[in-house]
Amino acid sequence: MKITAIRAYQVDLPLKEGRYAWSNENAVERFDSTIVAVETDAGITGHGECCPLGPAYLPAYAAGVRAGLKELAPRVIGLDPTHLAVLNRRMDEAMRGHPYVKSAIDVACWDILGKAAGLPVYVLLGGAQQSDVKLYRAISQDTPAKMAARVKGYRAEGYTKFQLKVGGDADVDIARIRACRKALRDGDVLIADSNTGWTMHEAARVAQAVRDLDVYIEQPCRSYEECLTVRRRTALPFILDENIDGMGILLRAISDGAMDVINLKISKVGGLTRAREMRDLCISAGVAMTIEDTWGGDIVTAAIAHLARSTPAEFLFSATDFNSYVTRSIAKGAPQRKAGRMTAPDRPGLGVEPRPDVLGKAVVTVEA
Ligand code: MG
């Protein structure tokens, strides 16, 4: 089988809540998502999606996905999409870094491999370790009272895990964490995600002030080294996200005992091929994972569901149903949340079918 064409489509994904805010006064009102179609000479087409969380979250931005695809796609034409290790090696030779550009191509090729084999992607990733997976809900940064009210509202919809967007004023953050923990029941999970927003002394203050609560601290500071100092002086369970962007830093972080949980975002590490390598290493090292992405719609949610479903329950801290945050559906057959959980489709490939009327005309076309 050979890749004959790569097309990219741009779709705006407006937020149901109207706005999503996190640390350092960052906020977005609509997500700019890129959907990639990889076509083959076998008549099979696969799809992937990449949706950066604005330009200020990671070294990635929405227009960069499309610009990168124009560079990379000509080097991928003619390759066999089912030889995923070869494909990834060739992409890394053709373009250094920029994992988020490669991610949607890699995911589309997993979709093709599944369709060619007649198997769902979760089977190819190791098989069904779970029938369905737990989800967390991200709570946009706001006043402590408004965030606690949102936690209660989403709890009534079935979620039991909540990730608060903190990383603002340390005193307000302490009040946010206390108000939201009060809104929860025993057994519910609360995560305070600073998204790199605190300096070390602020992180130390917050961790000390909430040490009596059942709460996880996530990515308190900007650098890995700053986070490690905070980790070493708090007894609270600890999550790293932004800093864990590849195998090298994951190996170092495991060796340092730098966290209990990582957030494994598919586009942050370059696609399902790399994410699976990191997932398997985490399982061997006893590190649990939230499996998710920077953002996205139905195709990103499906890719998350397949990787999460093939991960043992004790190592899957949670996953994310991004398609439930946005007002627009880009594909039929995507996972839908039920009682705070979702599952991956049993159909071949990712099991989703893009809606041509929503995708519109291709904004990038590269043909053999
Ligand atoms: Mg995070």
Q: Per residue in 319-329, pLDDT tens?
A: 999 999 999 99
Q: How many domains does the chain have?
A: 2
How many angstroms is it from 217 CA to the middle of ligand 1?
Answer: 10
Distance 57 CA to ligand 1 centre (A): 10
In angstroms, what is the span from residue 22 Cα to ligand 1's centroid?
A: 10
CATH of the domain at 280: 3.20.20.120
Q: Both 152 and 193 in a single domain?
A: yes
Report the separation in Å between the CA atom of 344 and the middle of ligand 1, taken as the mean of its atom positions: 23
16, 165, 268, 332: the catalytic one is: 165
Cβ atoms < 10 Å from Cβ of 152: 12
Looking at the fold, whether 80 and 105 belong to one and the same domain comes out as yes
The phi, psi pair for 137, rounded to 5°, reads: -115, 130
CA of 219 to the centre of ligand 1 (A): 7
Instruction: Judge whether 115 counts as a catalytic residue.
Output: no
Residue appearing with tokens 């029941």: 185
Instruction: Please check whether residues 295 and 322 belong to one and the same domain.
Output: yes
Q: Determine the average pLDDT of the residues in 259-267.
A: 98
pLDDT score, position 1: 98
Q: Give the integer Cα–Cα distance in Å for 115 and 148.
A: 44
Say whether 265 is catalytic.
Answer: yes
Are 150 and 106 in the same domain? no
Rounded to the nearest angstrom, the distance between the alpha carbon of 259 and the centre of ligand 1 is: 13
Confidence band of 275 (pLDDT split at 50, 70, 90): very high
Euclidean distance between CA atoms 92 and 95, whole angstroms: 5
- Catalytic one of 102, 115, 161, 265: 265
pLDDT of residue 295: 96
Q: Which token pair is 355?
A: 């809606």
Check residue 7 and give its pLDDT: 98
**145 and 162 belong to one structural domain:** yes
3-state SS class at 137? strand
How much is the average pLDDT of 131-160? 97
Q: Are residues 103 and 143 both part of a single domain?
A: no
208 and 95 in a common domain? no
Single-letter amino acid code for the residue at 64: G
Are residue 155 and residue 36 in the same domain, yes or no? no
* pLDDT band of 235, cuts 50, 70, 90: very high
156 and 97 share one domain: no
Distance 195 CA to ligand 1 centre (A): 6
Q: Reading across the β-sheet that carries 316-319, which strands appear in turn?
A: 137-139, 161-165, 189-193, 216-218, 238-240, 261-265, 288-292, 316-319
> Residue 8 is part of which domain span?
3-118+356-367
The single residue listed with the structure tokens 């990103």 is: 300
- DSSP string of 315-337, one letter each residue: GEEEE--GGGTBS---EET----
By CB atoms closer than 10 A (0-12, 13-18, 19+), residue 260 is: middle
Label residue 28 by pLDDT band (50, 70, 90). Answer: very high
The pLDDT, as a whole number, for residue 287 is 98
Distance 221 CA to ligand 1 centre (A): 11
Residue 98 sits in the same domain as residue 198: no
Identify whether residues 37 and 95 lie together within a single domain.
Answer: yes
Say if residue 106 is in the same domain as residue 222. Answer: no
Q: Which residues are paired to 10 by β-bridges? A: 34
Q: What is the CATH number of the domain that holds 111?
A: 3.30.390.10
